[in-house]
Amino acid sequence: MYSPSLQRQLYERSKKLLSPQATLFEGDQSRLVEDLQQVLRFHEWKYYVQNDPVISDFEYDQLYKQLEALEAAHPDLITPDSPTQRVGKDLTENLAQVAHLTPMLSLDNSYDAEDLNDFDEQVKKLCKLDKEGDVEYCVEPKYDGGTIVLVYENDRLVRAATRGNGAVGDDITANIRTLRSVPLQAEFSKYGIHKVELRGEALIRKDIFEKINKARQEANDQIFANPRNAATGALRMKDPKEAAERGLEAFLYQMGYAVDNQDNNIIERFHSHDESIHLLESLGFKTPLANAGTRQHLPATKTCGSIREVIEFCVNWQEYRDEYPYELDGMVVKVNSIELQERCGYTSHHPRWAIAFKFKARQATTRLRDVEFQVGKTGAVTPVAKLEPVPLAGVTVSNVSLHNEEFIRAKDLRIGDQVLVERAGDVIPYIVKSLPELRDGSEQVVHYPKTVRFVIPCW
């Protein structure tokens, strides 16, 4: 779909649009909109279809917000195929597609307390509530995995699908049936539910992900950038046995559709979001209520009586995220009352009653400009990557240790490469992998020094 040269062009254009030079086309808003639409389509393809993103989630969000702002200011420039007019697409050609019972929308994003306060004000305005009063919210982890949609009918699992384009997803029923965390039958009928559609996330635990990447590296296979890539790839494997070996688990976090045997909508029987989640847990599903691996005083989910409690809970989780056994990229804040959710309604892109609080970005892409070799007192040689400075988890990174010659070879690093850099746990950053699909032929192999010259000073 995208040639190597076109991928390089779109990547470089993305970086320019993310820099202050994005004002280059200030006098030509039409051209800027076209550029943003083009690069966003490319990154959706890399993220959802190839499972191999070349920019971070935060960078994608910034490009998306640029396009949203431009289209809001110039509605005449909105086109039907603009990325803002649909949710992300992850359909593949080799799998059958199935329609969801209800649309799968995206979430709007927030990054700080001010954004959450603005969200709270909007909810009160939409629901015509006292702006000085408090709204009850349910806050739960925003898992960084592959979205799944499960359908149960007559208490049995009958279908599983990916999120797809929001209306249609890939049929992955055979693979989901291999997940022991997904019940093949559940007693929904005890609650008058004949047919139900559940939404959740397929995840790979961090320690299992590390073992998978180690095995792939030893086999000279391309390593995964993060657990999400490994999880989404497993969901689409043709052989269910291979999917089972990937160690997937499924967390279910929402009941999106429920009818009785007369096809009457019975979602309204549940007065709150957390009530429906407790029901799923009682039926044997793994839900965000699961407290495995968390601090005793910091539960995985919390029903908060005000936006102030929400902010405190989200900030605490941002500090704790690295100790949690699964990868998270934020927290999801939902109006707890089902009645108030209905009053808030939806846009074509996201529900107005929910928002994602995104944690600080821990991965970013940048260029490997050079490699310098530092010699220690014992004569040990340590290669150090010189990077184009890139902001990451609250700091600017420009130097990264490459450890040794074997590390450079295993990562296939070349001077001039675009590389994926990570800073987990606010500690020393490291290079996850190179991005060979963005090479243009000018990259240079790193030559490790064979001899070391010592200069002994004389007095």
- Report d(CA 189, CA 259) in Å as an integer: 10
Of 142, 302, 411, 433, the catalytic one is: 142
**Sequence-ordered list of residues with C-beta below 8 angstroms from that of 436, at least 6 positions apart, any chain:** 412, 417
Pick the closest to residue 403 from 443, 379, 446, 373 (CA basis).
Answer: 373
User: If you search the block for the tokens 């290079």, which residue do you land on?
Assistant: 431
Pick the closest to residue 302 from 286, 285, 319, 314 (CA basis).
Answer: 314
Reported for 156-159, long-range contacts at CB under 8 A and 24+ positions apart, including other chains, are 156/184, 156/185, 157/182, 157/183, 157/184, 157/185, 159/98
Yes or no: say if 137 and 143 are a contact pair by the CB < 8 Å rule. Answer: no
Please state the three-class secondary structure of 371-400 as a single string.
EEEEECCCCCEEEEEEEEEEEECCEEEEEE
Yes or no: say if 157 and 174 are a contact pair by the CB < 8 Å rule. Answer: no
User: Is 125 among the catalytic positions?
Assistant: no
User: If you search the block for the tokens 């390593």, which residue do you land on?
Assistant: 223
Helix (H, G, I), strand (E, B) or coil at 403: coil
Cβ atoms < 10 Å from Cβ of 377: 5
Q: What are phi and psi of 42, to 5 degrees?
A: -60, -45
Write out the DSSP string of 192-241: T-SEEEEEEEEEE-HHHHHHHHHHHHHTTPPPPSSHHHHHHHHHT-SSHH
User: If you search the block for the tokens 């990154």, which residue do you land on?
Assistant: 43
Pick the closest to residue 333 from 166, 195, 122, 139 (CA basis).
Answer: 139
120 token code pair: 């709270």
> Cα 289 to chain center, whole Å?
20
Cβ atoms < 10 Å from Cβ of 440: 11
Reported for 287-295, long-range contacts at CB under 8 A and 24+ positions apart, including other chains, are 287/251, 287/252, 287/253, 288/140, 288/141, 288/251, 288/253, 290/251, 292/325, 293/323, 293/324, 293/325, 294/320, 294/324, 295/320, 295/323
- Report d(CA 181, CA 91) in Å as an integer: 24
Helix (H, G, I), strand (E, B) or coil at 143: strand
Beta strands in 8-165 (DSSP E): 97-99, 108-110, 137-143, 146-153, 156-162
Give catalytic residues, as residue numbers. 142
